[in-house]
Amino acid sequence: MTRIHYLLFVLLLSLVTLPAVQAATGNDGLAQARDNIRAIFPELKPEAIQPTPIPGLYQVTLGANLVYLSGDARYAVQGSIIDLKTRSNLTEQARTRLRREAIAAVPEDQMIVFSPKDPKHTVTVFTDIDCGYCRKLHSQIQDYMKQGIKVRYLFYPRAGLGSESARKAEAVWCARDRRKALTLAKQGKPIEMKTCKNPVAHDFQLGQELGVTGTPSIITEDGELIPGYVPPQRLRQILDQLAATGKG
């Protein structure tokens, strides 16, 4: 169970046992709501609790996950908030921002990067060494770069951290030439099974917190999540469209 999943579990238990608290109303409503909600999650910073457009309902950020609580911390709401006037999914907009910030916090020297000389777009891909569509994507890495796409890899061994895929990911990271080792591993060729300090566990937990459920999972510079394999030319079209609408 990840830390975020544990916090969500604690939330459900707390909602059953939490004593009655003061309702959040008036000018001090936000401050009171934060006090009420932090009684459940004392480690939360105040800015992790923000009002929503719905009076009395607050957005609570747990890592890269969102949950909605009433100001008195009695009611929890799961799902998305939709603005029917603008036809906007406000929850997905918030998740996109959280993904963007989380990925931006990972330095490139903690990724394996394949980049053209003058990239037009950058994507971050959660990948599994043994995933068939991950291998298909990587077999076309030169074509992605020809499309002006910079590909930055993070590890997401779907079978878990104790799996053979995770051990291969660690060996790739510990290789002298990580890009060459990754390419060989994705071709099913043997690589030296070295061990060293590596980011595999960090990447895996980050992927879980960001809602990655399968590989490859592609995240754009703006935090949009594109699940699954996308051919190079089609991915360039998607990224161009997102950039044109300010979402790339």
Catalytic-role residue among 34, 158, 203, 236? 158
- Compute the Cα dihedral for 216, 118, 235, 230 and give only its sign: negative
Question: CB count, 10 Å around CB of 3?
Answer: 12
Phi-psi region of 76 (alpha: psi -120 to 50; beta: other; left: phi over 0): beta
Q: Which of 185, 157, 159 is nearest to 172 (CA)?
A: 185
Quote the CA–CA distance of 157 and 164 in Å, as a whole number. 9
**End-to-end alpha-carbon separation of the chain, Å?**
33
Q: Catalytic: 196?
A: no
Rg of the chain on CA atoms, in Å: 21
Catalytic-role residue among 95, 99, 130, 131? 131
For residue 75, what are its two tokens?
């009611």
Q: Catalytic: 236?
A: no
Catalytic-role residue among 95, 134, 152, 236? 134
Q: Catalytic: 158?
A: yes
Q: Which of 21, 109, 98 is nearest to 67 (CA)?
A: 98
For residue 20, what are its two tokens?
């009655």
Angle between helices 164-174 and 178-186 (to 10 degrees): 150
Catalytic-role residue among 72, 95, 99, 128? 128
Quote the CA–CA distance of 182 and 112 in Å, as a whole number. 9
Q: Which of 197, 241, 194, 201 is nearest to 222 (CA)?
A: 241
Q: Are 18 and 69 in contact (CB under 8 A)?
A: no
Q: Catalytic: 35?
A: no
DSSP tag of 245: T
Active site residues: 128, 131, 134, 158
